[in-house]
A and B are shown apart, each in its own frame.
Chain A
Amino acid sequence: MPMVYYLGLSAFMFVIGILGMIIRRNPLVVFMSLELMFNAANLVFVSFASYHKVLDGELFVFFVMTTAASEVAVGLALMVAIFRAKKTIDIDQMSSLKG
């Protein structure tokens, strides 16, 4: 397959992720959009890895996955803590740092 197809698909996924981060107000959906953007970057890594026949790109995808997993764990824990303090998960209501 031509390389440009993969780049275009990844760019489209990344833009949808950005739109989700900007538009949506449910922080869980914002996190999911973040994961979508991670995936778009991973797709470029893997496609360039098999384009150049260099394995390092796939290793980077592995590290990105572990980073995303730990980020999701901490982020969702933060969200539960914020929900306990504020009783809402609307991201527009979180305008102050004080609980």
Chain B
Amino acid sequence: MSIGAIIVFGVMGFVVVASAVGMLISRNAIYSAMFLVLNFLTVGFMYLSLGAAFIALAQVTVYAGSIMVLFLFVIMLLGGEQLPFIDALRGQRMVGVLIGIAFLAEIVLYVVLRGDPGGGISLTGGTFATPAAIGMLLFNKYLLAFEITSVLLLSAVIGAIFLTRSAKQPRDEAAQLNKE
């Protein structure tokens, strides 16, 4: 394991953790979204360093690109207003933090008891996980899942359109038709 790999991983890990914490604690939803974009981009770089170039680019285009643009549109639509700092349930913040720490402790305990998986990942990549190999696997072994994914996306599009259309228009049109 070279010193360069450690430095690269350290910087990326720091940015990932810092941007996640920034997303958690920033009061404004727009800032949260920007921190999350930074987080997704850094995780994409991490995929790249793991040799998964296709997944890295999909991460950048799908997550950091389209999903976050959708988030920003909805934030601007609803207003990134800062909610008043009043707890509806007293002390729920502390309980939440405690539950989170307990969960992290559980994960650490599991890894300690289960044992280190051992070994490391060489960051060179090479011919493993080329887009061609992923395409062959996707259209042979996972063809059915791929097709089902298209149905899932179609139903999501129809559901989103159905949920966001305004409910009054059809009624008005029906009333006009009745008048006529």
Contacts and interface: CB of A to CB of B under 8 A. Distances in A.
Interface string B147-177: 0010011011101110110100000000000
Interface in B94-140: 96-97, 99-101, 103-104, 107-108, 111, 116-121, 123, 125, 128-129, 133-134, 137-138
Contact of A22 (B58, B100, B128): B100
A16 B20 contact: yes
**Max chain A C-beta neighbours (<10 A), residue from B20, B104, B120, B137:** B20
Nearest to A31: B71
A3 B163 contact: no
Contact of A35 (B67, B116, B123, B153): B67
Given A46-B52, A73-B156, A55 B133 contact: yes
B1 to A, nearest CB: 7
Contacts of A63: 142, 145, 149
Nearest to A29: B32
A73 B71 contact: no
A58 B93 CA distance: 36
Contact of B52 (A15, A26, A49): A49
Contacts, number: 215
- The DSSP consensus for interface residues of chain A is helix
B148 to A, nearest CB: 9
Interface of B is mostly: helix
Given A19-B24, A19-B97, A65-B58, A58 B134 contact: yes
B160 A73 contact: yes
Contact of B62 (A12, A23, A69, A89): A69
Contact of A50 (B100, B108, B129, B153): B129
A87 B71 CA distance: 19
Contact of B23 (A36, A43, A69, A77): A36
Given A1-B5, A69-B62, A73-B160, 5 more contacts: A3-B117, A22-B100, A63-B142, A65-B59, A77-B159
Interface of A: 1-9, 11-20, 22-26, 28-29, 31-33, 35-36, 39, 42-43, 46-47, 49-51, 53, 55-56, 58-59, 61-63, 65-74, 76-81, 83-84, 89-90, 92
Interface of B: 1, 5-6, 9, 13, 16-17, 20-21, 23-24, 29, 32-33, 36, 39-40, 43, 46-47, 50-52, 54-55, 58-59, 62-63, 66-67, 70-71, 74-75, 77-78, 81, 83, 88, 92-93, 96-97, 99-101, 103-104, 107-108, 111, 116-121, 123, 125, 128-129, 133-134, 137-138, 141-142, 145, 149, 152-153, 155-157, 159-161, 163-164, 166
